Chain A
Amino acid sequence: DQQVKQNSPSLSVQEGRISILNCDYTNSMFDYFLWYKKYPAEGPTFLISISSIKDKNEDGRFTVFLNKSAKHLSLHIVPSQPGDSAVYFCAASATNTGTASKLTFGTGTRLQVTL
């Protein structure tokens, strides 16, 4: 039962354009969402997060949007750079439950930024 889904396994975007990575979740108890970025031969690193009390969080070129009614979040990267080429994982947590210590990850989307 995949509670966090990233339906696009891969995405190719031209340098300078916007990259939009999508994530859907099924567990209505999730109230905190994060994006992690992973380069080959390295562990994932934290990128940006959003609480369910917000619908948008911005950090430089990265913006995460949350649509609670649709149980959908997206990561926008503007402008995309070749160094953004990586696998992006969406993750979610139900912080107000007994499973607050658990992060549930999606399947990942491989982003390739081309010149």
Chain B
Amino acid sequence: EAQVTQNPRYLITVTGKKLTVTCSQNMNHEYMSWYRQDPGLGLRQIYYSMNVEVTDKGDVPEGYKVSRKEKRNFPLILESPSPNQTSLYFCASSLLGQISGGWGNEKLFFGSGTQLSVL
């Protein structure tokens, strides 16, 4: 089954304790991205990657790191989490750039989300 898998689904941590949220896709997508969803702010892009070893900042990259060492995985790293990073996080992937037609044909597939609470 084609899917984007995030782990864990729920995570409670304390300020300053490094954590990693994993993301894996089995669709051979080159494009992957991380979003956070906050009440009243919608989905905001944190980082994205167009291919292996190619990553770029989104709208809200501060406090986050990513890496793309292989095509299927795109982990999100919080080196020193703070309470303002409490949020619902989504990983997504797409064929963007691999076929023609843009975002409609190269749909963005989302994982089920990771609810992070930083105390």
Separation in Å of the A21 CB from the closest CB of chain B? 13
Out of A4, A32, A42, A107, which one reaches B103, CB within 8 Å?
A32
Instruction: Let me know if B77 is at the binding interface, CB within 8 A.
Output: no
Q: Which of B34-49 contact A (CB under 8 A)?
A: 35, 40-45, 48
- Closest chain-B Cβ to A22's Cβ sits at a distance in Å of 14
Q: Chain B, interface size: which category?
A: 20 to 34
List chain A residues, Cβ under 8 A from B61: none
Q: What 0/1 pattern do residues 65 to 93 of A give for CB contact below 8 A with B?
A: 00000000000000000000000010101
Residues of A within 8 A of B31 (CB): 101
Contact A105 B50, beta carbon cutoff 8 Å: no
Cα of A65 to Cα of B43 in the assembled complex, Å? 22
Q: Does B7 contact A (CB under 8 A)?
A: no
Query: In the complex, what's the smallest C-beta–C-beta distance from B21 to chain A, in angstroms?
Result: 14
Using CB atoms, name the residue of chain B closest to A9. Answer: B40
The answer to whether A101 and B41 have CB atoms under 8 Å apart is no
- Are B110 and A45 closer than 8 Å at their CB atoms? yes
A55 to B68, CA, bound (A): 38
The chain B residues found within 8 Å of chain A, CB to CB, are 4, 31, 35, 40-45, 48, 50, 56, 58-59, 90, 92, 96-97, 102-104, 107-113
List 4 A-B pairs, minimum CB-CB distance, nearest first: A43-B110, A49-B104, A107-B42, A105-B43
**Extra pairs beyond A102-B48, A103-B45, A108-B42 (14, CB < 8 Å):** A41-B112, A43-B90, A43-B109, A44-B43, A46-B108, A49-B103, A49-B104, A51-B102, A91-B103, A95-B102, A101-B31, A102-B45, A105-B35, A107-B40
